[in-house]
């Protein structure tokens, strides 16, 4: 193997990192510190040719392969024990075409970097809520965040992808080139190949009116009902995700609220700024809120608001559902667990996925949950490794309790741990079978299987 690795080294421009190297531990560390995997080779690709060389090397030598972009996947699917990691974090080219309102982005970019680049042109890509997340993994799973109601999922804004297949061949996927692959990439995750370039549509957004608003947790029942009705009747310009949390003991939160259990909504209004106060008047009248940090700010400021609270290297355990309705039972179950979060950063978010997301039909992309109103994520988070069992148990109990109130048996693949084939199938609903056929066409040997795996049709 040593000679073969030397040969690979002579073929790629990027660094090859092996277990005996000084920077091995750094290179194998990802966002979730609960994950401790030991790959045998990490290839830090510089360009598409490096990716082709890494894919060919792994295939020819029978090595399992994982794909790492932002390294944020909760289940740690960016890494593989004893296999080869195709690390794309150094592929960071980004080109904005302001006239066409498009962006061509390599997979090593994070959401904060994309935000900063597009914001200069008064444009934005609908994506996620934490800036350090990788644009690549987020997109391939679907991509939801503050602009979902206004601009759809991230995949609804994907125009083209360049993909290195298991054979080492590079193909383009778009509405006109390899349309089946393009369909599957939009929600099917890293199952079909390594995406080395994404071209997105951007939407005109510069400043928004938003931020967090909290109420005492004792008001959660009324707050959830108010939030539900408010959003149901609002235009797609108004977005807000509901949360349960403990107020962190530090800036910018006022001292009298530190460590208090609260519920809240993080709002994002993208309509005319002169109308914002009017839109928020009834919201401010409810409660009233015990914290109101809602105001006008640049889009990237909202997108990065919680980055400091969630640095890399903490313990994370995830569970997720889709929710159609906030029935009384659903609200009570949420309050039961949400008002007992086990640590300061542990939380539950309800991300709205209606509005523009519902304008695309279930058959149009692999992402199948176009009828649900929320993607729910339950996350146990702590900087302390000794809290791992506690946060995991809380998360699993919450998830189990929510089962009778959830839509179907599946969840958003980007919010799942390794939960088995039935959960993956359930998440893709009626689209799973078509996905297995596309998988058979583009990756018949299931070379790319370190992911929420779609098994090729027989
Ligand atoms: C703090 C935090 C906040 C988050 N917030 C949101 C949110 O607001 N909205 C949302 O939708 N999701 C959110 N997520 C979930 C996020 O979408 C997933 O974790 C996603 O996997 C992150 O992408 P990544 O590139 O960082 O992942 P990585 O861990 O690098 O990769 C994860 C998987 O994606 C696939 N993949 C990655 N890059 C490629 C590629 N170039 N080609 C082919 N396959 C690839 C592979 O299967 C890989 O195993 C959040 C996650 C975290 C940790």
The pLDDT value recorded for residue 10 is 92
Binning pLDDT at 50, 70 and 90, where does residue 77 land?
A: very high
Whether ligand 1 lies within 6 angstroms of the CB of 108 is answered as: no
Residues whose CB falls within 8 Å of the CB of residue 226, separated by 6 or more in sequence, listed in order:
286
- The residue-averaged pLDDT of 382-401 equals 98
Binning pLDDT at 50, 70 and 90, where does residue 1 land?
A: confident
Fold annotation for 207-415 = Vanillyl-alcohol Oxidase; Chain A, domain 3 (3.40.462)
User: Per residue in 325-361, pLDDT tens?
Assistant: 999 999 999 999 999 999 999 999 999 999 999 999 9
- The residue-averaged pLDDT of 161-187 equals 98
d(CA 198, CA 439): 20
Evaluate whether 40 touches 26 at the Cβ level (below 8 Å). Answer: no
The pLDDT value recorded for residue 3 is 85
Instruction: Among 28, 69, 181, 435, say which to mutate for ligand 1: greatest number of ligand atoms within 8 Å of CB.
Output: 69
The pLDDT value recorded for residue 125 is 98
Q: What percent of the chain has pLDDT over 70?
A: 100
How many C-alpha atoms does 177 have within 13 Å on its Cβ side?
Answer: 10
Given the candidates 3.30.43.10, 3.40.50.720, 3.40.50.2300, 3.40.50.150, the CATH classification of the domain at 2-87 is 3.30.43.10
Binning pLDDT at 50, 70 and 90, where does residue 449 land?
A: very high
Helix (H) or strand (E) holding 390: helix 388-402
Residue 2 has pLDDT above 90, yes or no: no
The pLDDT value recorded for residue 40 is 97
Point out the least confidently predicted range of 2-16, 51-65, 100-114, 200-214: 2-16
In this structure, the residue with its CA closest to atom 1 of ligand 1 is 130
> Distances in Å between the alpha carbon of 408 and those of 256, 357, 401, 424, 453?
41, 18, 14, 12, 19
User: Per residue in 398-445, pLDDT tens?
Assistant: 999 999 999 988 999 999 999 999 999 999 999 999 999 999 999 999
The pLDDT value recorded for residue 275 is 97
Whether ligand 1 lies within 6 angstroms of the CB of 347 is answered as: no
Which residues pair with residue 246 across a beta bridge? 261
Q: Which CATH class is domain 94-204?
A: alpha beta
Q: What's the chain's average pLDDT?
A: 97
Residue 291 has pLDDT above 90, yes or no: yes
3-state secondary structure of 223: helix
**DSSP alpha helix (H) spans, 208-285:** 220-233, 276-285
Residue 66 has pLDDT above 90, yes or no: yes
How many C-alpha atoms does 153 have within 13 Å on its Cβ side?
Answer: 30
Whether ligand 1 lies within 6 angstroms of the CB of 88 is answered as: yes
Task: Kindly list the domain boundaries of the chain, sorted by start residue.
Answer: 2-87, 94-204, 207-415
Whether ligand 1 lies within 6 angstroms of the CB of 189 is answered as: yes
Whether ligand 1 lies within 6 angstroms of the CB of 155 is answered as: no
Residue 251 has pLDDT above 90, yes or no: no
């Amino acid at each position: 193997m040593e000679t073969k690795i030397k040969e690979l080294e002579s073929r790629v421009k990027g660094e090859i990192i092996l277990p005996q190297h000084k920077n091995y531990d750094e290179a194998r560390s990802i966002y979730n510190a609960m994950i401790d995997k030991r790959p045998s080779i990490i290839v830090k690709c510089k360009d598409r040719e490096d990716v082709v060389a890494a894919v060919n090397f792994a295939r020819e030598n029978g090595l399992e392969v994982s794909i790492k972009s932002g390294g944020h996947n909760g289940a740690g699917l960016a890494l593989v024990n004893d296999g080869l990691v195709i690390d794309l974090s150094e592929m960071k080219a980004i080109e904005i075409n302001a006239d066409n309102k498009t962006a061509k982005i390599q997979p090593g970019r994070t959401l904060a970097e994309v935000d900063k680049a597009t914001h200069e042109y008064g444009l934005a890509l609908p994506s996620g809520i934490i800036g350090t997340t990788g644009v690549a993994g987020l997109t391939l799973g679907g991509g939801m965040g503050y602009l979902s109601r206004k601009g759809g999922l991230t995949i609804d804004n994907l125009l083209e992808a360049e993909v290195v297949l298991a054979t080492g061949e590079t193909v383009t996927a778009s509405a006109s080139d390899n349309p089946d692959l393009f369909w599957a990439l939009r929600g099917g995750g890293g199952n079909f190949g390594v995406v080395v370039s994404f071209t997105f549509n951007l939407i005109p957004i510069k400043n928004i009116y938003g931020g967090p608003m909290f109420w005492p947790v004792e008001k959660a029942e009324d707050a959830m009902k108010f939030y539900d009705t408010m959003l149901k009747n609002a235009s797609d310009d108004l977005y807000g995700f509901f949360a349960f949390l403990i107020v962190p003991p530090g800036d910018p939160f006022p001292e009298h609220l530190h460590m208090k259990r609260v519920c809240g909504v993080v709002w994002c209004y993208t309509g005319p700024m002169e109308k914002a106060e009017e839109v928020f008047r009834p919201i401010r009248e409810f409660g009233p809120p015990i914290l109101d940090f809602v105001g006008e700010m640049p889009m990237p400021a909202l997108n990065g608001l919680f980055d400091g609270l969630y640095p890399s290297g903490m313990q994370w355990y995830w569970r997720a559902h889709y929710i159609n309705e906030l029935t009384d039972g659903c609200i009570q179950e949420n309050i039961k667990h949400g008002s007992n979060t086990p640590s300061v950063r542990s939380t539950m978010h309800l991300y709205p996925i209606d509005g523009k997301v519902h304008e695309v039909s279930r058959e149009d992309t692999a992402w199948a949950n176009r009828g649900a109103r929320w993607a729910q994520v339950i996350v146990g988070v702590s900087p302390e490794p000794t809290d791992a069992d506690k946060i995991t148990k809380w998360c699993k109990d919450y998830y189990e309790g929510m089962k009778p109130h959830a839509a179907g048996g599946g969840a958003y693949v980007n919010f799942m741990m390794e939960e088995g084939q039935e959960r993956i199938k359930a998440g893709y609903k009626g689209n799973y079978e078509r996905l297995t056929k596309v998988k058979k066409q583009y990756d018949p040997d299931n070379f790319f299987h370190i992911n929420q795996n779609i098994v090729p049709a027989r």
